[in-house]
Amino acid sequence: MSEHDEEGYSGEATLVFGSDEVAVEVELRGYFQPIDGRYHWYGRVKKNDDVTNRVEAGARTALLRTPTGEAEGTLNDPDPWGRYRVGGISTPPYKIEEPAEH
């Protein structure tokens, strides 16, 4: 059993670097962390030469927009396949289920 109940999004997204938009594919997950009371989200951006060029030129943050939300994220840690890790501690860039009322 998982330590956290994770929610997520997989599909098309947009990374916004300043006024420039880059279409990307993402795989995102996240969970509410009761210790700090915030939502932690993270994932990978599918290999994209435009994203690689921007990160290698110094870009480390971008607005990540999906069809159901957007959030500021940090880009780092490319894997051997050229996919950058993206993540943040905030409302995630995708819709999450509201907790059930008891």
The structure's pTM equals 0.88
pLDDT of residue 100: 46
Question: Which segments of the chain have a pLDDT < 50?
Answer: 1-2, 100, 102
Over pLDDT 70: what percentage of the chain?
90
- What digits encode the pLDDT tens for the residues 19-31? 999 999 999 999 9
Q: Distances from the Cα of 92 to the Cαs of 56, 57, 63, 95, in angstroms?
A: 25, 26, 11, 7
Distance CA 72, CA 52 (A): 18
Distance CA 79, CA 8 (A): 20
